[in-house]
Amino acid sequence: MAETREETLRRFFQEYAKASLEGDTDTIAAAYAPTYIETSPETFAAWKVDEHYRKALIERHAVMQQQLGLDRLDVDVLTVEEVAPLHYMVKARWKMTFTKARTGPATSIFDITYMVKMAGAPQILAYISHESEEAVLRRDGVI
């Protein structure tokens, strides 16, 4: 039996989480549209997925792994809603576990809502972080 759209999106985000933990920049970059938008309560950015973007992913992975000791990254897809043909709003809860946090081992949990296009492989068009990632990491004693 074929996967449902919801099952496909759950698998997509599980693979994205695994790639993020492992620093697989090709898989991470392929998860996004060629240009996408990200926003949080404090920030807004439009990103072009190119070599500069891939370099930034490598640098971020090094900080998360080497400096903060990112040890585990889990994602739970909370809701999937079709908002237009081939377009889905996906709310996901991320859980990051760190071994080298400022206060010792720590876990941070935060929600992100994604707009994903499903014409072939899923592609993230935009995402809204419900909280500032930096604020969450500070609150939880990670940085």
Element (H, E) at 135: helix 133-139
pLDDT in tens, 103-143: 889 999 999 999 999 999 999 999 999 999 999 999 999 98
Residue bearing tokens 């969450």: 136
Q: Is the pLDDT of residue 1 over 90?
A: no
At residue 53, what is the residue type? Y
The predicted pLDDT at position 101 comes to: 82
pLDDT in tens, 71-90: 999 999 999 999 999 999 99
Alpha-carbon separation of residue 15 from 38, 62, 73 (angstroms): 20, 19, 11
Q: Is the pTM of the predicted complex or chain greater than 0.95?
A: no
How many domains does the structure of the chain reveal? 1
What pairing do the DSSP bridges indicate for beta strands 106-117 and 70-84?
A: unpaired
Q: Find the CATH number of the domain harbouring 32.
A: 3.10.450.50
Q: Distance between CA atoms of 141 and 143, rounded to whole angstroms?
A: 6
The predicted pLDDT at position 103 comes to: 83
The predicted pLDDT at position 110 comes to: 95
The predicted pLDDT at position 63 comes to: 93
Range of the domain at 83: 5-139
